[in-house]
Amino acid sequence: MLIQINKKIYYLLLLPLIFFTILFFSDIIYAENNQWDLKGRLINGTTNSYVKDHMVILHISDDGAMKEYSAKSDNFGYFHFKSLNHLKDSIIGVSSIFEGVLYGKDLGLISNQSDEILLTVYKSSDNSENLTLANSTIMFTSVDKSKNLMWVMELIKVVNNSKITFKPPRDNPMGMIRFGLPTNYEDLIIDSDLLGVEFIVIDKGFAVLGNVYPGEHQILFTYGIKYDEEEYIYNRNLQFDLNNLRIITEGNLTVKLPDFIYDQNDTYVNEIKYNLIEMNNFKKGEKIKIIFSDLPQATILDKSKNYIQNFDRGWGMFVLFFIILIIPFVILLLGKNKKRIKN
């Protein structure tokens, strides 16, 4: 009987010990599984050679917090980040600045990095001769008759055909990539997949303040065009060679390009029918003129509504206050004049 009691006590003491042992060692295994080693190589894509003794930054987003680590490439371009203690679902990326230009690469989850990281950088130049426009789509999406306003969306694919990054000159704003806009445009919105660029409004459009890396890049922008008459002339001057131009308009818009020979076809966007004009092979400096005719005009009622909506409230209060002060004064003067006439 005594032996049986001791066995029960033994097992009762053994079970918690096993439990805490498993818990303790599982924590150790978990920590070991979150120790990461990342290796990579820094390559000069212009000369197809490795870049030695150069700084590479590792960016880690871990549970909402951003951390950075740095490492230098060795004589063969290799860099190594050792014993990184982060969660397996941490998101990582690498970057490096080469000849004043930032290069980066998103790598996804840290737990998926089984291959060697390859980060490519390039020599840079302010010469834009290797830049071309692969295609340009100008879509006149809709017309707001009540405001005499035509909405436009443009998608341009910029191509750097070289192995050299275009870096715009600092002392020459005309050396930047520029896109022209109509003089009476409004509500400009711009988006792009170019890394780290900004857009600045210039005299006749906007410019790209940033670098253009080798490869293809897209720039999307939308805006409205204010027109007054039934006919409107849209002009576009090309800064670069353009391989393909697509002009898409609403079915009820009358459009012609007097300087070109072209066919007009039907196309569908989101199951809506549009007119399509497509042409190829434009040269740098060429001018494109698009003439719209029979544009719908706002009615007097539309113009009245627009005037009320656009009326400045500050001036409105001032005018109202002025009228409130003047009217009693005018009435008083008229009353006095009547009395004088009677007398």
pLDDT exceeds 80 at position 319: no
| C-beta of residue 232 within 8 angstroms of C-beta of residue 290 | no
Give the residue carrying structure tokens 């789509």: 137
pLDDT digits (tens, 9 = 90+) for 155-191: 999 999 999 999 998 777 778 889 999 888 999 999 9
Of residues 41, 50, 46, the one with CA closest to residue 78: 41
Total H helices, total E strands in the chain: 3, 23
**CB 316: neighbour CB atoms within 10 A?**
11
**Mean pLDDT, the chain, integer:** 83
Question: What is the rounded average pLDDT of the residues 44-62?
Answer: 95
Question: What is the rounded average pLDDT of the residues 239-262?
Answer: 90
The pLDDT, as a whole number, for residue 29 is 33
CB-based contacts of 305, cutoff 8 Å, min separation 6:
146
pLDDT digits (tens, 9 = 90+) for 74-97: 999 999 999 888 888 899 999 999
Sign of CA dihedral 51, 52, 54, 60: positive
Residue 11 CA to residue 8 CA, distance in Å, equals: 5
3-state helix, strand, coil in the chain (%, to 5): 25, 50, 25
- Which tokens in the block code for residue 301? 């009622």
pLDDT digits (tens, 9 = 90+) for 270-305: 888 889 999 999 999 999 999 998 888 876 655 555
- pTM for the whole structure: 0.72
Domains of the chain, earliest start first = 35-121 (2.60.40.1120), 131-293 (2.60.40)
Q: Which SS3 state, helix, strand or coil, does residue 197 take?
A: coil
Residue 335 CA to residue 343 CA, distance in Å, equals: 13
The pLDDT, as a whole number, for residue 301 is 54
Residue 234 CA to residue 306 CA, distance in Å, equals: 24
Give the residue carrying structure tokens 């436009």: 152
pLDDT exceeds 70 at position 323: no
Of residues 52, 101, 105, the one with CA closest to residue 74: 52
